[in-house]
Amino acid sequence: MEVGDEPLLKVRSMNVKLAARNRLISVVEKVDFDVFEGKVSGIAGESGSGKTVSMMAILGLLPHGSIVSGHAFYGGQDLLVSSEKRLAKVRGKEIALIMQDPHSSLHPMLSVGVQLSDHVRHHLKLSREDAREHSIDLLHQVRIPNPAASFTAYPHQFSGGMRQRIAIAIALACGPKIIIADEPTTGLDVTVQAGILHLLRELGERRGLAILLITHDLGVMSAIADRVTIMYAGRVVETGTAEDVIGSPRHPYTAALLAALPHPERPETDLVPIPGQLGPPGLRPSGCAFHPRCQYAKSQCSSVVPDLVEVRPGRSHACLVDPFMATL
């Protein structure tokens, strides 16, 4: 990907406030990220950092009473101000969502074939017979063994990994341009996880799909992402190519996440957990929200919220101390 490529989805200065116990709580602040055709763009950060809320905001799926501001440019329109009617056309058809638990997208009482061909018929207006053929082809594309027999089977007859592949087939049924995969492999075995990630990467390359991979696991991210955005406490703290962000992190939070990750070639190496924890929104520290957990924090970090600064095209970070600058 060239730095100058125009993104398919461009999110800028997105803020989200959620209504909780009669007050509004700021959950996502000034979030920027891009999603590119044929590439895997990733958003990583600990649970509670605002990843899912950001996706829901873009798709207009937040609970009533939420307040969203900023921009999400897609196909010449701003999704954050689009009508519900327009968003309903984008959701599923142009931007598909895969969640962690395929149970939430698969109906337990309907065969895989019925669920898949329903989507195909609805979106592509195909005859029953053509929809069946197209559905079996989709099962083949997501590498379900014996697609014709699987067409008549029920979700419970498949393993968790296979169910996630079926959910991906359903997402593909309407020919989306973007697939948002929110923790698609969380809870799956490592080898099953690797297979699903490989499939997503392959779909991006083969079908020119843009994949937006959301995960709390930087290991998952590093396996397939081209670009990575790291979030902490509702804000972007670092962004760049996966190679740059994972190879030479610029923000202390990213560095700490990497130090807490087991190394595949050196599993015996001591892991360094990040001290403290990410507090709930509404009770977050002043200044840089990471400062109480940061070994590099200086006094200004507790009062000044660092802006995301672009150090070169496509590479940004938000840290007043910038402790790793000299090493780059």
Ligand X SMILES: Nc1ncnc2c1ncn2[C@@H]1O[C@H](COP(=O)(O)OP(=O)(O)O)[C@@H](O)[C@H]1O
Residue 164 near Mg ion by CB under 5 A: no
- Cα separation, 310 vs 321, in Å, equals 15
* One character per residue 48-67, x = contact with ligand X (rule: CB under 6 A): xxxxxx---------x----
Instruction: Name the amino acid, one letter, at 8.
Output: L
Nearer to Mg ion, 115 or 185 (CB): 185
Residue 48 interface partner, choices ligand X, Mg ion, none, CB cut-off 5-8 Å depending on type: ligand X
Nearer to ligand X, 31 or 170 (CB): 31
Cα–Cα nearest to 251, from 225, 270, 233, 276 = 233
- Cα separation, 199 vs 168, in Å, equals 9
Select from 43-51, 75-83, 105-113, 115-123 the region that touches Mg ion (CB under 5 A): 43-51
For the chain, first and last CA: distance in Å?
22
Nearer to ligand X, 279 or 313 (CB): 279
Shortest separation between residue 70's beta carbon and ligand X, angstroms: 16
Residue 249: Cβ within 10 Å count: 24
- Cα separation, 328 vs 326, in Å, equals 6
Shortest separation between residue 231's beta carbon and ligand X, angstroms: 7
Shortest separation between residue 150's beta carbon and ligand X, angstroms: 31
Instruction: Name the amino acid, one letter, at 159.
Output: S
Is-contact 198 29, C-beta < 8 A? no
Shortest separation between residue 27's beta carbon and ligand X, angstroms: 4
Residue 108 near ligand X by CB under 6 A: no
Burial (0-12, 13-18, 19+ Cβ within 10 Å), 258:
middle
Nearer to ligand X, 97 or 162 (CB): 97
Q: Which of 52, 117, 215, 254 binds Mg ion (CB under 5 A)?
A: 52
According to CB under 6 A, which residues from 4 to 43 bind ligand X? 18, 20, 27
Site size toward ligand X (CB under 6 A) is 14
Q: In what order do the strands lie in the sheet with 309-312?
A: 95-98, 178-182, 210-215, 40-44, 227-232, 235-241, 315-317, 309-312
**Binding residues for ligand X, per CB under 6 A?**
18, 20, 27, 45, 47-53, 63, 280-281
